A and B are shown apart, each in its own frame.
Chain A
Amino acid sequence: MASSSSNLISLKTSDGTVFKVERALAKTMKTVQAIIEEADANIYMIPIHNVFSHHMDMIIDYYKLSVAGKSKEFSVEKLDNDELKDFLLAVHYLNMEDLFEVLTQAVADRLEKKSVGYVRKYFGIENDFTPEEYAAIRKKNDWAFKGDDIEPEEDEEKQEE
């Protein structure tokens, strides 16, 4: 059982801000739900690590929109790549199904037409193929690199100069 003050649950973010949220919203956070259910006594305040107040603001925005049936209006366009990844990590930690779906799709949409070089940088991945291995895979799947809407690879752009 959570705090006895009816329908509000207190969540404390990593930067020390306390948010009083509706129980229904807290229920969408499976991690928080688990904490509440495991507690023997009433919990006064639930700390949520790895979640900052700017994350909670967006979470509350999304919640309000989805309650009003307008979840499609929620947009993360204004977030830059790192902010979006950061938010995704917070939502992943809180284990919020719907918002997680929205954010993973948003990241996928941003990467869809990007070059291999761009995606490597985005995830901080090192290329561990030899030039020959890379060339072979590239050649075999060349069709996937073509199309006006696909970002050209850096090595190709240089060749055209």
Chain B
Amino acid sequence: MRNNIAKGGNSMEMKILYLPHELIIQILLRLPVKSLIRFKCICKSWFSLISDPRFAKTHFELTTAHTDRILFITSTPEIRSIDLEASLNDDSAFTSPNLNFLLPRSYSDLEIKGSCRGFIVLCCSSNIYLWNPSTGVHKQIPLPPFGSNLDANYFFGFGYDHSKDDYLVVSMCDDPNSATFLSHLEFFSLRANTWKEIECTTSTHFPYMNACDDPRVGCLFNGAIYWMAFRHDISRNVIVGFDLMERKLLDLQFPDDFDHEPTNCGLWVYGEFLSLWAIDYYENDTVEIWVMKEYKVNSSWAKTLVLSIDDIPTQYFSPLCSTKSGDIIETDGVTGLVKYNNKGQLLEHRSYCNNASISEVALYSESLLSLPDANEQA
């Protein structure tokens, strides 16, 4: 690129100040994903640059504070991508990614089963897709050999292995052909493009069973995916994690004075901490938020907040994330989102649909990233 420098301010000519290519890249690296997607239209060399996986990786890793958004899919279907830093009532703060690669259909059996580095795991009529709402890139992956009945799959999750720049889909479940509680742990590596089973070294099979009435999406935290589980060998509820780098399981304990059934609880990431939420239906219609102050230190669990859910019509609460200012955004389970401040006061409640069908909600990051070996585009 040309390197002319316009001198002084007295010239009456409209000289264009050209910036060298490496400077342009530095500027582009500091733009948000939405702008970059738009600027793919500028010219062919910008299109190539912005579409380049290496640029996407540098861009994603440069931004220490990612633009996280909330994906809200109603069964209507309506797909919204919501800016979590804006007011829930600010309609200019959402976009509508399209899911046209899924054949036109009602999305009543669509489920979101994971989210990592801008990719969302969608399960729809026994198919699994990884989808980046920002770029439209998607890839279908095969069903797990043992966990092919996704509805009965209680331990399912998605994450990223930094050491190998690989994405993993993880599944642990009972063998459908067996009458006993034999758990198979398997994972799909994008790079290997195949499912692999992990053998249990301590006994014949992994001792984990579902602890909740319904399958929960794995909670991705610090390079591991976590679920609540019941260990039938020690008759105790635990928090089981799959370490994505080591590719093995580890256990965390529930807090000592934690008096809730896992089915009324959930795992999520509150700021920088692994956190548990628990709905207390019997006493006060409140929700307790517990935080693991020191990661992997079981004694460091502390109850940090108690919220009232009296004012939420669905009487349900499932936190998604916290905003930069410390507010908590959660889904009311059916129609919309609710925002509380960090003192437990209700700030906003917004419904996005009226019908009684459950919507799918997930937190995701905006990214230009592509999957290893992914080459399909919407």
- Known interface pairs A50-B5, A89-B19, A140-B136; A127-B96 also in contact (CB < 8 Å): no
For B95, give the chain A residue with the smallest CB separation.
A143
B16 at interface by CB-CB < 8 Å:
yes
Q: Does B41 lie within 8 Å of A134, measured CB to CB?
A: yes
Q: Does A85 lie within 8 Å of B19, measured CB to CB?
A: yes
Residues of B within 8 A of A128 (CB): 43-44
Q: Does B95 lie within 8 Å of A147, measured CB to CB?
A: yes
Residues of A within 8 A of B29 (CB): 104
Q: Does A92 lie within 8 Å of B6, measured CB to CB?
A: no
- Known interface pairs A127-B42, A129-B41, A134-B41; A104-B19 also in contact (CB < 8 Å): no
> Min CB distance, A68 to chain B, in Å?
24
0/1 interface trace, chain B 45-88, chain A, CB 8 Å (1 if under): 01100000000000000000000000000000000000000000
A148 at interface by CB-CB < 8 Å:
yes
> Min CB distance, B189 to chain A, in Å?
29
Q: Does B5 lie within 8 Å of A141, measured CB to CB?
A: no
Q: Does B6 lie within 8 Å of A86, measured CB to CB?
A: yes
Binds A, one of B32-40, B166-174, B213-221, B337-345: B32-40
0/1 interface trace, chain A 125-155, chain B, CB 8 Å (1 if under): 1111100001001101101111111100000
Q: Does A112 lie within 8 Å of B31, measured CB to CB?
A: yes
For B17, give the chain A residue with the smallest CB separation.
A85
> Min CB distance, A160 to chain B, in Å?
19
A111 at interface by CB-CB < 8 Å:
yes
Q: Does A137 lie within 8 Å of B35, measured CB to CB?
A: no
- Which of A120, A123, A144, A149 has a CB less than 8 Å from the CB of B24? A123
- Known interface pairs A86-B17, A108-B30; A141-B95 also in contact (CB < 8 Å): no
Q: Does A148 lie within 8 Å of B92, measured CB to CB?
A: yes
A75 at interface by CB-CB < 8 Å:
no
A119 at interface by CB-CB < 8 Å:
yes
> Min CB distance, A125 to chain B, in Å?
5
Q: Does B97 lie within 8 Å of A137, measured CB to CB?
A: no
- Tell me the chain B residues, 87-113 only, with Cβ under 8 Å from chain A: 92, 95-98
A66 at interface by CB-CB < 8 Å:
no
Q: Does A143 lie within 8 Å of B35, measured CB to CB?
A: no
A38 at interface by CB-CB < 8 Å:
no
Residues of B within 8 A of A111 (CB): 27, 31, 35
Which secondary structure dominates chain A's binding surface? helix
A17 at interface by CB-CB < 8 Å:
no
Q: Does B40 lie within 8 Å of A141, measured CB to CB?
A: yes
- Known interface pairs A82-B6, A123-B18, A137-B47; A116-B23 also in contact (CB < 8 Å): no
> Min CB distance, B26 to chain A, in Å?
5
Complex Cα–Cα for A138 and B41 (A): 7
- Known interface pairs A137-B41, A147-B95; A123-B19 also in contact (CB < 8 Å): yes
A124 at interface by CB-CB < 8 Å:
yes
Q: Does B26 lie within 8 Å of A104, measured CB to CB?
A: yes
Q: Does A141 lie within 8 Å of B16, measured CB to CB?
A: no
For A134, give the chain B residue with the smallest CB separation.
B41
A36 at interface by CB-CB < 8 Å:
no
> Min CB distance, B16 to chain A, in Å?
4
A9 at interface by CB-CB < 8 Å:
no
A30 at interface by CB-CB < 8 Å:
no
B378 at interface by CB-CB < 8 Å:
yes
Q: Does B31 lie within 8 Å of A108, measured CB to CB?
A: yes
- Which of B5, B27, B92, B377 has a CB less than 8 Å from the CB of A89? B5
For A135, give the chain B residue with the smallest CB separation.
B41
> Min CB distance, A54 to chain B, in Å?
9
* 8 further interface pairs, Cβ-Cβ under 8 Å (given A108-B28, A112-B31, A127-B43): A86-B5, A104-B26, A108-B27, A124-B18, A128-B44, A137-B47, A143-B95, A145-B38
Nearest 6 Cβ contacts at the A-B interface = A124-B16, A108-B30, A144-B37, A148-B92, A144-B38, A85-B17
A/B interface sample: 25 pairs, CB < 8 A:
A82-B17, A88-B23, A92-B20, A104-B26, A105-B30, A107-B27, A108-B27, A111-B31, A111-B35, A112-B32, A116-B41, A120-B43, A123-B19, A124-B18, A128-B43, A129-B41, A140-B377, A141-B37, A143-B95, A143-B96, A143-B97, A143-B98, A144-B37, A144-B95, A147-B92
Which residues of A pack against B, CB within 8 Å?
50, 82-83, 85-86, 88-89, 92, 100, 104-105, 107-108, 111-113, 116, 119-120, 123-129, 134, 137-138, 140-141, 143-150
